[in-house]
Each structure stands twice: as structure tokens, then as C-alpha cells.
Amino acid sequence: MNQPNNPLHGITLEAMLRDLVIHIGWEKMAEKVSINCFKHEPSIKSSLAFLRKTPWARQKVEILYQFNLKKITKASENKSNLE
């Protein structure tokens, strides 16, 4: 199924989390999405487990990712240009 208008198409939840951690960090993520797995001993593994079971929290993380998508894309392009 092709979804040209969906900016999240083909991006896994794990990839979103990793990009967000790199670009804004756990502290900022916890400010924007107030969930314990971002506040107390945050990890990708615990966050994935929680977000996969909690649709409202996953939706907030997806919105946060979309909000930061330009910054993430630009950083990725700059990294590619350096290699």
C-alpha cells in the first residue's frame, strides 16, 4: 500500500524514538509527552513496550516526531553529506 501523503509511512516506532532521543533528548521528550518511561530511567526498550500498548501516548510521540521532522531530516542530510 502506497501512502504518499503520510510522512510516517515506512518509519518504525523504534526509529522515531531513536531520532527523537538524538535530536531533542529524553528530558525534552518528557516535557512534551508526560509519561514515566521518558522521565524515570528512560530507555528505548521500555518506551517501545509502553507505547505499543498505549495508543494515546503513541499518537503524541508521532505528533512530536512530525513536529521535529524537518530538523531530523536536515540533520540526517547533513550527516550523509559528510560521509
Domain that holds residue 63: 13-82
In a domain, 8, yes or no: no
**Total of domains in the chain:** 1
Domain with residue 38: its CATH number is 1.10.720.30
Contact, 46 vs 37, CB < 8 A?
yes
Digit-coded pLDDT (tens) for 12-53: 999 999 999 999 999 999 999 999 999 999 999 999 999 999
In a domain, 56, yes or no: yes
Contact, 57 vs 67, CB < 8 A?
no
Question: For residue 10, which phi and psi values (nearest 5 degrees)?
Answer: 85, 0
Q: Left if phi > 0, otherwise alpha if psi is -120 to 50, otherwise beta: which for 34? A: beta
In a domain, 1, yes or no: no
- Burial (CB < 10 A; 0-12, 13-18, 19+), residue 17, is buried
Digit-coded pLDDT (tens) for 44-54: 999 999 999 99
In a domain, 3, yes or no: no
3 pLDDT above the threshold of 70: no
